[in-house]
Amino acid sequence: MRKVRLYAVLLSLFLFDSVTNAQGIHTHHETEKDTNTLSHFFERGRFYGHARSYFSSTTNKGNLSDYYAWGMGAGIGYETPKFLKYFQVGLSGFFMFNLKSSDLQKADPTTNQVNRYEVGLFDIERPNDHKDLDRLEELFVKLHLSKKTKITVGRQIPETPMINPQDGRMRPTLIEAAVLDVNEAKNLNLHAEYIWRFSPRSTVRWFDVGESIGVYPVGVGIDGKPSQYKNNIESGGVGVLGITYKKNQWNLQVWDTYIDNVLNTAMLKTEWKSSTSAGKNWFLGGQFFYQNAVGNGGNDNPTKAYIAAESASKIYSARIGQQANKFDWFLNGTRITAQGRYLFPREWGREPFYTFMPRERNEGFGDVKTVTINTFFKPQKNIKIELSGGYFQLPDVKNYTLNKYGMPSYSQVNLGITYQFEHFLKGLNALLLVVRKDEVGQTYQNDRYIINKVNMTHLNFIINYHY
For residue 399, the model assigns a pLDDT of: 98
Q: Are residues 124 and 17 in the same domain?
A: no
For residue 31, the model assigns a pLDDT of: 52
Ranking 9-18, 180-189, 209-218, 321-330 by mean pLDDT, the lowest is 9-18
Is the per-residue pLDDT at 262 higher than 90? yes
Specify whether the CB–CB gap between 24 and 43 falls below 8 A: yes
Q: Are residues 394 and 425 in the same domain?
A: yes
Specify whether the CB–CB gap between 259 and 266 falls below 8 A: no
Quick one: what percent of the chain has pLDDT higher than 90? Answer: 88
Domain that holds residue 19: 1-28+37-44
For residue 28, the model assigns a pLDDT of: 47
Is the per-residue pLDDT at 162 higher than 60? yes
Q: How far is CA 225 from the centre of its chain?
A: 28
For residue 18, the model assigns a pLDDT of: 46
Q: Are residues 11 and 87 in the same domain?
A: no
* CATH code: domain of residue 111: 2.40.160.10
Report how far residue 99's alpha carbon sits from residue 140's, in angstroms, rounded to the nearest whole number: 31
Q: Are residues 101 and 16 in the same domain?
A: no
Q: Are residues 111 and 249 in the same domain?
A: yes
Q: Are residues 6 and 75 in the same domain?
A: no
Query: Which is nearest to 122 in space by CA: 142, 149, 100, 106?
Result: 100
Specify whether the CB–CB gap between 20 and 46 falls below 8 A: no
Is the per-residue pLDDT at 267 higher than 50? yes
Q: Are residues 113 and 68 in the same domain?
A: yes
Q: Are residues 85 and 5 in the same domain?
A: no
Specify whether the CB–CB gap between 313 and 341 falls below 8 A: yes
Structural domain total, the chain = 2
Q: Are residues 23 and 61 in the same domain?
A: no
Beta bridge partners of 292: 264, 312
Greater model confidence, 42 or 115: 115
Q: Are residues 13 and 105 in the same domain?
A: no
Q: Are residues 8 and 124 in the same domain?
A: no
DSSP string for residues in 122-178 = S-TTSTT--S-EEEEEEEEEEEEEETTEEEEEEEE---SSSS-----SSS--EEEEE
Ranking 52-56, 133-137, 321-325, 416-420 by mean pLDDT, the lowest is 133-137
Q: Are residues 246 and 355 in the same domain?
A: yes
The string of pLDDT tens digits covering residues 342-378 is 999 999 999 999 999 999 999 999 999 999 999 999 9
CB atoms within 10 A of CB 464: 15
Query: Which is nearest to 103 in space by CA: 64, 65, 134?
Result: 65
Specify whether the CB–CB gap between 286 and 251 falls below 8 A: no
The string of pLDDT tens digits covering residues 17-29 is 544 444 444 444 4
The string of pLDDT tens digits covering residues 268-297 is 999 999 999 999 999 999 999 999 999 999
Q: Grade residue 32 by pLDDT with cuts at 50, 70 and 90.
A: low
The string of pLDDT tens digits covering residues 113-144 is 999 999 999 999 988 887 778 999 999 999 99
pTM, two decimals, is 0.92
For residue 145, the model assigns a pLDDT of: 97
| 3-state SS assignment for residue 38 | helix
Average pLDDT over the chain reads: 93
Specify whether the CB–CB gap between 368 and 361 falls below 8 A: no
Instruction: Name the phi and psi angles at 4, rounded to 5.
Output: -65, -45
For residue 34, the model assigns a pLDDT of: 79
329 contact partners, CB below 8 Å, separation of at least 6 = 321, 322, 373, 374, 375, 376
